[in-house]
A = this chain, B = another copy of it.
Amino acid sequence: MTQVAGCELCALAAPAVFENEKFAVILVDDANYPGFARVIWKDHVREVSDLADEDRLLLNDAVWTLELAVREVMAPLKVNVASLGNVVPHLHWHVIPRYADDAHFPAPVWAQAVRTTPADVLAGRHALLAELAAAITRRFASR
């Protein structure tokens, strides 16, 4: 496995909710987006198309499994899924639950915020994170 000194995703600072030898699943600590989660490929690979077929399918399965867990617990209006990596070119996927009252909807979360989500609504979503972690663990353990 290739590891690059100074790459924050090679270092994998965040504790993983699930991990195996190939990838880790983490919950992103974003005050506006409780339920925002990531799949981080462990090898320092730049693009999806740099992966061998077997690994590409494994990663696709992981992103799909994470999407199912996020839908099950967070019940979003829409799921956003993206692999960007312009700042940290180490393969990772964002899975983001979106709601009509979130800070950017319907724009992507990387656009300018257009509103403040009511604090009680955000608190209610934050309160689901333990359940989300359990759903992720359960779904990945049974893959």
Binding site for B on A (CB under 8 A): 46-49, 56-57, 60, 63-64, 67-68, 71, 78-87, 89, 98, 105-108, 110-112
B-side contacts of A106, CB under 8 Å: 86-87
Quick check: A82 and B80 within 8 Å, CB to CB? yes
Further pairs besides A49-B64, A80-B83: 9, Cβ < 8 Å: A47-B78, A49-B68, A80-B82, A81-B83, A86-B108, A87-B106, A108-B110, A111-B111, A111-B112
Residues of B within 8 Å of A68, CB to CB, are 49
> Please, how many angstroms separate the alpha-carbon atoms of A25 and B113 in the complex?
31
Copies of this chain held together in the complex? 2
Q: How far is the CB of A53 from chain B (nearest CB, A)?
A: 9
B82, A98: Cβ atoms closer than 8 Å: no
Minimal beta-carbon separation of A114 from chain B (angstroms): 12
A98 to B84, CA, bound (A): 9
